[in-house]
Structure 1
Amino acid sequence: MNEFRFSDNFTLMRKKLGMTQGDVATYIGVSSAAVSKWERGLSYPDLSLLPKLASLFDTTIDKLLGYEPHLTTATIMELYQTFSKRLSEENFEMVQKDIENMVKEYYSCYPFLVRIAQLYLNHYFYSKKPQLVLNRIVELCERVVALSDDHKLIQEAQIIYASALLIMNKPQELLKRVGYDIPIQFGVEKLIARAYAMLSDINKVKETLQISAFQHLLSMVSSEIELLKYASDNQNLFDEMINRIEKVIDIYNIEKLNSHIKLTFYYQASLGYMKQHRRTDALRMLERFYHTCKHLSFPMKICGDDYFYIVDNWIEQNIHSGPYAPRNEQAIKDDLLNMLQKESLFVPLHEDPKFKWMVNNLQRMFQSKPKRENESVS
């Protein structure tokens, strides 16, 4: 992405020291003509001369060359969004070549490698050879885990790694990597908040506790929704879970905070009802799924509201894609349609007038794009 800017940097540093080209040539032991070529960008100094030049200008070799081995967080996020859009619209393998060229250039920028692993995780199924993409995710994450000294980044790489293992149907390897038991939550955020209180920084107290509550709320609801998948064999428990989750979603305005969670709830609830052969209840949940889709705002994002009023800045700084969804708008719309059209449990509903009406309306609203280059047309 960034070419060497040696000639410009060299000229500026030389002039800053008040040296002529001849002075530098004498100091380094080369001809004035050679120095002149460096400044005009016609050639570079021999590799063995770079340490001496860097020492002369009191700088590093990287700064002298103008090489930037790391990308800013903003640039990484921008690249993620750009590549995400391209992967869902263009030939995967062609876009991957561009991605891998950047990976080669910034192979020591570990935040970038984690984002690329996340990018591949969210788009691997577009590839003609998805297994190779999953293997690449593992390679990138292993590099970050082995070489990075950023604990949070390593933890994130481990989660992405584990997600890839799950897709690759390697549960034992996943458990070996992330652990076999759930760790106790010690509530360190409360200690942080009390420390800020002792420092009379009440704003930080409020921010710390609100962010903690925000995370725990979304985590709790997400875990309950995941549990729905395995609770349909107990109708009384299943119904009570539906009742409680729906109340929490409504009370805490989850649709505003993270609409994806609300969509997932209605979808999983409808699947559970279909397993129990309760078509009327399933259609009721699918109708709520439809109305939530109808009122989606794009780009989808995680955000606060009037109650969680301090969390937006934290989300911006700590969630890998900022507040926005890790996939682009059209890819999300296509997925939402596929959730209704391709789920085998919904086959008995395909001729139901209400179900057909919802699917047809979503198709019109979402206006699905033409087939990608590497997709077959059925």
Structure 2
Amino acid sequence: MLKDINIAKVISAKRNEKGITQDQLAEYIGVTKASVSKWETDKSYPDITLLPQLSSFFNISIDELIGYSPQMTKETIKKTYHHLASEFSHKTFNEVLIECRKLIKKYYACFPLLLQIAKLFVNHYMLAKDKEKQEALLQETIDLCRRIKKECDDIWITKQANSFETICHIILNQPLEAIELLDETLKPPISDHFLLSKAYQMTGNSEKAKEVIQVGLYHHLRGILGPAQSYLLLIADKPSKFEQALDRFLQITKVFEVEKLDPNITCLLYLAAAQGYSIQNNQEKALEMLEKYVCICTTSLLPYELKGDSFFDRIDNWLKDYDIEAPRDEKTIRKSILQSVVENPAFISLHNERKYKQIIEKLNRDFIKE
């Protein structure tokens, strides 16, 4: 019986622990304050349909309420993410947002799902109609990430939540908040991949040791080229330094054949190079880089997936288990690529150039309308 488990005391205690009022709990659950008051004074019980939502909100165990702890499997979470990402192309932004919020309420203690929804919000907030709604969704994402970090025991999940919260602060032009979140990561420990590989070697499993090292090298390769676009834009006002950095980055992509491994990183490198040259009023090179950017986008980028090759020949199994990588569905990606060329303020000076117009025509004709 519900009375036997003292649900009144549990609700009252957990609400006080969280420091929320009966009004706030009532608003979240969708009932009146009087209903919450009756629950806590043992005059009535919550409708059975509300118990899962209460359990999720308080993040309590089976023993602490009635044994209901909503969770999703990893595979279901992946399918849910891709479904919602696709919905942004077929439904209105608000419709998808309502669906996401329903899932959050239903699975408020399923932190892997909440993390993916935070990721979904970060990747699609720009679809909101105005800046105010965009900022509100980013703040909602920050709150979601903070809940994950506070309540979740999985260190990897909390680290990712910290990263998404940082991204939100950066987008919201809150650099001090972002710096505060990342301060501890400025002094990283010895590579975990090296330590894990060493451990496998000690057990005599040299094949697994090689795989771990390859995964580490792959991470480091992407770690070097990932920030490359931001660095190029930071030094665009110093042409000689810009040329040196771009040359080194391009050599790395050539030596490791990065276009085959991760075409997205190569695309972003060429886009940043085009922006940098445009800032320097070097229209010829800007158009050259922009043309290479569009070429890779239209021939190699989609369908987006990370791959190994003859050098990285031991990472395929790891890639299969790698977290969701495609940030958006293909339709949204195609539109985003067009916007990165057409609406980029760095390319305003190129709008009257014949080659620039040809690039836009090619994107509209061969890429957007596919």
What's 1:207 paired with? Answer: 211
2:126 is equivalent to residue 125 of structure 1:
yes
- Using the TM superposition, give the Cα deviation of residue 367 of structure 1 relative to its aligned residue in structure 2, in angstroms: 2.9
What's 2:239 paired with? Answer: 235
Assess if the C-alpha contact under 8 Å between 1:299 and 1:328 holds in 2: no
- What is the number of residues matched between the two proteins? 308
Match of 1:148 among 149, 152, 165: 152
- Partner Cα separation in structure 2 for residue 327 and residue 258 of structure 1: 16
- Partner Cα separation in structure 1 for residue 349 and residue 230 of structure 2: 24
2:356 is equivalent to residue 355 of structure 1:
yes
Deviations 1:85-114 (A, max 9, x none): 111331111111111111111111000000
One-letter amino acid of the structure 2 residue matched with residue 195 of structure 1: A
2:272 is equivalent to residue 268 of structure 1:
yes
- Partner Cα separation in structure 2 for residue 231 and residue 121 of structure 1: 27
What's 2:86 paired with? Answer: 85
Secondary structure of the structure 1 residue equivalent to 2:309:
coil
- Partner Cα separation in structure 2 for residue 149 and residue 181 of structure 1: 19
One-letter amino acid of the structure 2 residue matched with residue 230 of structure 1: L
Assess if the C-alpha contact under 8 Å between 1:144 and 1:154 holds in 2: yes
One-letter amino acid of the structure 2 residue matched with residue 341 of structure 1: V
Measured at CA, do residues 195 and 182 of structure 1 come closer, stay the same or move farther in structure 2, by a change above 3 Å? same
- Partner Cα separation in structure 2 for residue 191 and residue 61 of structure 1: 38
One-letter amino acid of the structure 2 residue matched with residue 243 of structure 1: D
- Partner Cα separation in structure 2 for residue 228 and residue 203 of structure 1: 38
One-letter amino acid of the structure 2 residue matched with residue 280 of structure 1: E
- Partner Cα separation in structure 2 for residue 82 and residue 340 of structure 1: 28
One-letter amino acid of the structure 1 residue matched with residue 311 of structure 2: Y
Measured at CA, do residues 297 and 262 of structure 1 come closer, stay the same or move farther in structure 2, by a change above 3 Å? closer
What's 2:249 paired with? Answer: 245
Assess if the C-alpha contact under 8 Å between 1:71 and 1:109 holds in 2: yes
Measured at CA, do residues 192 and 367 of structure 1 come closer, stay the same or move farther in structure 2, by a change above 3 Å? closer
- Using the TM superposition, give the Cα deviation of residue 143 of structure 1 relative to its aligned residue in structure 2, in angstroms: 0.8
Assess if the C-alpha contact under 8 Å between 2:271 and 2:290 holds in 1: yes
Instruction: State how 1:103-122 maps to structure 2 within 5 Å.
Output: 103-122=104-123
What's 1:278 paired with? Answer: 282
Assess if the C-alpha contact under 8 Å between 1:330 and 1:368 holds in 2: no
Secondary structure of the structure 1 residue equivalent to 2:186:
coil
- Partner Cα separation in structure 1 for residue 274 and residue 208 of structure 2: 41
Q: Normalising by structure 1, report the TM-score.
A: 0.77
Which range moves more in the overlay, 104-113 or 304-313?
Answer: 304-313
Measured at CA, do residues 203 and 137 of structure 1 come closer, stay the same or move farther in structure 2, by a change above 3 Å? same
What's 2:33 paired with? Answer: none
One-letter amino acid of the structure 1 residue matched with residue 289 of structure 2: M
- Using the TM superposition, give the Cα deviation of residue 127 of structure 1 relative to its aligned residue in structure 2, in angstroms: 1.9
2:212 is equivalent to residue 175 of structure 1:
no
Measured at CA, do residues 61 and 231 of structure 1 come closer, stay the same or move farther in structure 2, by a change above 3 Å? closer
One-letter amino acid of the structure 2 residue matched with residue 109 of structure 1: C
- Partner Cα separation in structure 2 for residue 368 and residue 134 of structure 1: 31
One-letter amino acid of the structure 2 residue matched with residue 231 of structure 1: I
Assess if the C-alpha contact under 8 Å between 2:145 and 2:165 holds in 1: yes
- Using the TM superposition, give the Cα deviation of residue 68 of structure 1 relative to its aligned residue in structure 2, in angstroms: 6.0
- Using the TM superposition, give the Cα deviation of residue 299 of structure 1 relative to its aligned residue in structure 2, in angstroms: 2.4
What's 1:137 paired with? Answer: 141
- Using the TM superposition, give the Cα deviation of residue 212 of structure 1 relative to its aligned residue in structure 2, in angstroms: 0.3
Assess if the C-alpha contact under 8 Å between 1:334 and 1:368 holds in 2: no
Assess if the C-alpha contact under 8 Å between 2:298 and 2:367 holds in 1: no
Measured at CA, do residues 224 and 367 of structure 1 come closer, stay the same or move farther in structure 2, by a change above 3 Å? closer
Instruction: Specify which structure has the bigger relative contact order, considering alpha-carbon pairs within 8 angstroms and separated by 6 or more residues.
Output: 1
- Partner Cα separation in structure 2 for residue 281 and residue 362 of structure 1: 19
Deviations 1:32-79 (A, max 9, x none): xxxxxxxxxxxxxx98xxxxxxxxxxxx979xx996611011110101
Cα RMSD over matched residues?
Answer: 2.2
Secondary structure of the structure 2 residue equivalent to 1:217:
helix
Assess if the C-alpha contact under 8 Å between 2:69 and 2:109 holds in 1: no
Secondary structure of the structure 2 residue equivalent to 1:281:
helix
- Using the TM superposition, give the Cα deviation of residue 180 of structure 1 relative to its aligned residue in structure 2, in angstroms: 7.0
- Using the TM superposition, give the Cα deviation of residue 318 of structure 1 relative to its aligned residue in structure 2, in angstroms: 3.5
One-letter amino acid of the structure 2 residue matched with residue 117 of structure 1: A
What's 2:7 paired with? Answer: none
Contiguous gaps of at least 5 residues in structure 1 = 1-45, 48-59, 370-378
What's 2:317 paired with? Answer: 313
Deviations 1:179-237 (A, max 9, x none): 17721341232222111111111121011100000000111112233210111222111
Identity of aligned residues (%): 29
Please list every run of at least 4 consecutive aligned residues from structure 1 whose deviation after the TM superposition is greater than 4 angstroms.
65-68
Measured at CA, do residues 184 and 108 of structure 1 come closer, stay the same or move farther in structure 2, by a change above 3 Å? closer
